[in-house]
Each structure stands twice: as structure tokens, then as C-alpha cells.
Structure 1
Amino acid sequence: MFKSTFHALCITLALGGAVYSAGAAAAGQSGDVPEVATSTAAETQVSINHASAEQLAAAMNGIGLKKAQAIVSYREQYGPFTEVAQLKEVPGIGSALIERNSSRLKL
């Protein structure tokens, strides 16, 4: 099973490279890296002081609606966060979760 899966992955990667090369040549870039629209961290950041529970759940990795609601409830009870690390005070939110989402969060 592993061998056939690995073989299929290799073929897929090889075909992807061939498609990329053909696309670059057709675009006249002859091997240059094509311009790809990428989103920056600023475009995907969510404010922990202003976002709704739904927005927090959608933007954060490992946060469901229940934990997002806990963040909003904490914010409503204790006031706005003064730093992102303060999220650790919310029950169910730990350091690993904050680290994983640090690029997505702002005050």
C-alpha cells in the first residue's frame, strides 16, 4: 500500500513540474518563477479585541466556536486584551495554541 501511494505521489509531483514548466514557457518566462497572488499576514489577521466569535473561529487554527465564544466572553467580562499573550488567561487556551496562531492575531 505504501509503495503504491509513494509511486502515485512521485508521478503527481513529476507531472506537476512538467505542467509548471510548460506554463512558464508558454508565458514566456523561461524558467522564471511566475507571479502568484499571495495574501500577507496583515490581510488574514483578526483582532482579538473586536472580532466576533464566528470571525475568531474562522481565522484561528485549532479554535472552534466554543473556544472563540470563551475569548469573547472573557473580553466582555475583563475588558480588551492588552497583549496577545493574555489569551492564556482564557480557559481552554494555551501557549501552543497562541504560538500556532500568532501570525493571525492582532489587538
Structure 2
Amino acid sequence: MTKSFIYATLLALLTGFSVVGHAASKPAEAPVAMAATAPVNLNTADAETLVRELKGIGAAKAQAIIEYREAHGPFSSVDELLEVKGIGTSILDKNRAKLSLN
């Protein structure tokens, strides 16, 4: 009985080590790359694009951006976005890297 117990324990240990060794040899999966998004052109983007691509911009603010653009002409700088009602420095700073004028 003692021999059977020792052999069973030994078999369990060896089996466990081979499973762990097999799992450790599995190659790691490559991290999923984030898709690069194109900059959002303040002078041509429609409301849907503004809402989808910019943080803190909902339908009302997107419409305000378009109305400002129609009333004052194309944006001459990204900072001019601060002139749009409802857009503050926090929203501009969150989105500055995503914005373009051409």
C-alpha cells in the first residue's frame, strides 16, 4: 500500500510538472495594436465625425462647432475652437493632438 501511494504521488507530481512546463513554453500573444486614427479636420468634419472622434463632444457641441464655422469661416487655428460656446480649455486639451485644420 505504501508503494502504491508513493507511486501515485510521484505520478501526480510528474504530470503536474509536465503540464506547467508545456504552458510555460507557449509563446506569448503579441499585444493588439491600437488602430491609428486620422486627425479630425475642424474645417471639414461633419457632426457625426466630431462626436465619434473627439472626447467631450456630443451632438450639441458638434453642431455648435459647425455653426461657428459657417458663421465665421474656416478655423485659422485649433485654439480658435475656444470661441465656440461650450468648448473650454479642458475639452480642447483632451483633443488637441487629434485636431487638424487641413
Give the TM-score normalised by the residue count of structure 1: 0.65
Q: Which residue of 1 aligns with 2:40?
A: 46
Q: Which residue of 1 aligns with 2:78?
A: 84
CA RMSD of aligned residues (A): 2.0
Provide the identity percentage. Answer: 43
Are the structure 2 counterparts of residues 105 and 25 from structure 1 closer, same or farther at C-alpha, using a change threshold of 3 Å?
farther
Asked if structure 2 preserves the Cα contact closer than 8 Å seen for 1:44 and 1:59, the reply is no
| Aligned residue-pair number | 79
**Structure ID, larger Rg:** 2
Structure 1 residue runs of 5 or longer lacking an equivalent are 1-21
Q: Distance in 1 between matches of 2:51 and 2:79?
A: 18
Question: How far apart are residue 38 of structure 1 and its match?
Answer: 2.2
Give the letter for the 2:45 counterpart: A
Q: Which runs of 4+ in 1 moved over 3 A?
A: none
SS of the counterpart of 1:103? Answer: helix
Asked if structure 2 preserves the Cα contact closer than 8 Å seen for 1:46 and 1:59, the reply is yes
Structure with bigger RCO (C-alpha 8 Å, 6+ apart): 2
Q: Which residue of 2 aligns with 1:26?
A: 26
